[in-house]
């Protein structure tokens, strides 16, 4: 399959105010690492070990020292929807967010990066310019991290990749959820009526969360529906902790890749969760509809790139620096 010509799809939609399935599942893991008796503790530890996958990239900062001294950290969160992780064809990232967690200011900043943002991907000059969501398809997590770092001139300390299809197992593990759809639509053989409480199993919930182009809010609408479902899961289970049965833990291990080790997650769970008190959501804003090399991409002005660089570096308590130079503007 010619990955260089994948995803010539409809006009991109901006993603903002994001608190979706990726962040929710990661936070479940953070809480789960320290909150249980020995059986669940070791079950979660085993799941995290199975999910571990080094990006194969020399980190720009000493992450061990950062966690030990409770310094701000950054995590690149990515979501894909092309089947289980570990497959031969990786696919592109549907979601990409830079999460910075500052335990000193008790703040978390989530910066969403539109999947169609136009960039020159490091190490792939013949395939550039390209949409940023192709970085993972070309060079896995390593290239995705390098692209974000060079685009915004920021350090990425860790990454986490979530397979969105894992939502099926998550919902089924709690016996399904009842959701009142935010709009009326048909998708993948299912019908949803706005405001009408609807019982959903995993497959129906996945369909509800995946629809994109019939939602006038675009990616933002899809993310809102994902968050609605995860809130339904937590409500159905009664508490976040009760989610961590063996089936749920196994599904997490199967659908997650990260270079966060169990010791890292434990350190974050004990020293960083106060940053959840204040979550700020922002997004990289560009001009959509630009045709580049036969593809519809989103071009980001230099001023906007600099603004996001300033916000992220400030969140990490880093000094001012000029933004990167690989984005098209």
pLDDT tens sequence across 216-243: 876 667 767 876 776 677 666 555 555 5
Quick one: pLDDT at residue 7? 36
Quick one: pLDDT at residue 32? 41
Quick one: pLDDT at residue 306? 98
pTM: 0.79
Q: Yes or no: say if 47 and 259 are a contact pair by the CB < 8 Å rule.
A: no
Quick one: pLDDT at residue 196? 95
Quick one: pLDDT at residue 31? 41
Quick one: pLDDT at residue 324? 97
State the SS3 of the chain: CCHHHCCCCCCCCCCCCCCCHHHHHHHHHHHHCCCCCHHHHHHHHHHHHHHECCCCCCCCCCHHHHHHCCCCEEEEEEEECCCCCCCCCCCCCCEEEEEEEECCCCEEEEEECCCCEEECCCCCHHHCCEECCHHHHHHHHHHHHHHHHHHHCCCCCEEEEEEHHHHHHHHHHCCCEEECCCCCEEECCEEECCCCCEEECHHHHHHHHHCCCCCCCCHHHHHHHHHHHHHHHHHHHCCCHHHCCHHHHHHHHHHEEECCCHHHHHHHHHHCHHHHHEEEEEECCCEEEEEECCEEEEECCHHHHHHHHHHHHHHCCCCCCCCCCCECC
Pairing of the two strands 107-112 and 95-102: antiparallel
Q: In angstroms, rounded to a whole number, what is the distance separating the alpha carbons of residues 265 and 109?
A: 18
* Burial (CB count within 10 angstroms: exposed 0-12, middle 13-18, buried 19+), residue 238: exposed
Quick one: pLDDT at residue 6? 35
Quick one: pLDDT at residue 167? 66
Extract the residue ranges of the chain whose pLDDT is less than 70.
1-41, 81-90, 164-167, 218-220, 223, 227, 230-231, 234-249, 251-253
The 10s digit of each residue's pLDDT in 99-117 is 999 999 999 898 888 888 9
Quick one: pLDDT at residue 128? 93
Instruction: Estimate to the nearest angstrom the gap between the alpha carbon of 87 and the chain centroid.
Output: 19
Quick one: pLDDT at residue 89? 52
Question: Alpha-carbon torsion 131, 281, 18, 46, what sign?
Answer: positive
Q: In angstroms, rounded to a whole number, what is the distance separating the alpha carbons of residues 4 and 126?
A: 9
Residue 160's closest CA among 112, 108, 97?
Answer: 97
Quick one: pLDDT at residue 160? 87
Quick one: pLDDT at residue 19? 36
**What is the crossing angle of helices 246-255 and 38-51, to 10°?**
20
Please count the residues of the chain. 329
């Amino acid at each position: 399959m010619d990955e260089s010509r994948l995803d010539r799809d409809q006009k991109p939609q901006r993603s903002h105010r994001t608190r979706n399935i990726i962040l929710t599942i990661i936070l479940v893991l953070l809480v789960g690492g320290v909150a249980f008796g020995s059986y669940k503790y070791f079950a979660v530890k085993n799941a995290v070990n199975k999910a571990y996958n080094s990006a194969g990239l020399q980190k720009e900062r000493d992450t061990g020292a950062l966690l030990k001294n409770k310094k701000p950290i950054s995590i690149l969160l990515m979501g894909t929807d092309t089947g289980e992780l570990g497959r031969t064809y990786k696919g592109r990232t549907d979601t990409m967010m830079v999460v910075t967690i500052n335990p000193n200011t008790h703040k978390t900043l989530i910066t969403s990066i539109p999947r169609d943002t136009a960039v020159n991907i490091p190490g792939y000059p013949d395939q550039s310019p390209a949409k940023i969501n192709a970085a993972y398809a070309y060079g896995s997590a390593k290239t995705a991290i390098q692209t974000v770092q060079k685009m915004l001139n920021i350090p990425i300390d860790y990454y986490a990749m979530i397979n969105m299809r894992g939502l099926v197992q998550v919902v089924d593990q709690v016996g399904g959820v009842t959701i009142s759809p935010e709009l009326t639509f048909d998708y993948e053989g299912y019908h949803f009526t706005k405001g009408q409480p609807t019982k959903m199993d995993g497959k129906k919930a996945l369909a509800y969360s995946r629809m994109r182009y019939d939602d006038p809010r675009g990616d933002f609408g899809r993310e809102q529906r994902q968050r609605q479902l995860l809130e339904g899961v937590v409500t159905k289970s009664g508490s976040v902790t009760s989610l961590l049965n063996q089936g749920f833990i196994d599904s997490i291990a199967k659908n997650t890749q990260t270079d966060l080790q169990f010791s890292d997650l434990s350190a974050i769970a004990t020293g960083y969760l106060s940053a959840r008190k204040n979550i700020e959501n922002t997004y990289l804003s560009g001009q959509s509809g630009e045709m580049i090399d036969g593809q519809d991409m989103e071009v980001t002005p230099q001023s906007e790139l600099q603004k996001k660089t300033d916000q992220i570096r400030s969140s990490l308590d880093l000094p001012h620096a000029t933004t990167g130079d690989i984005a098209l503007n």
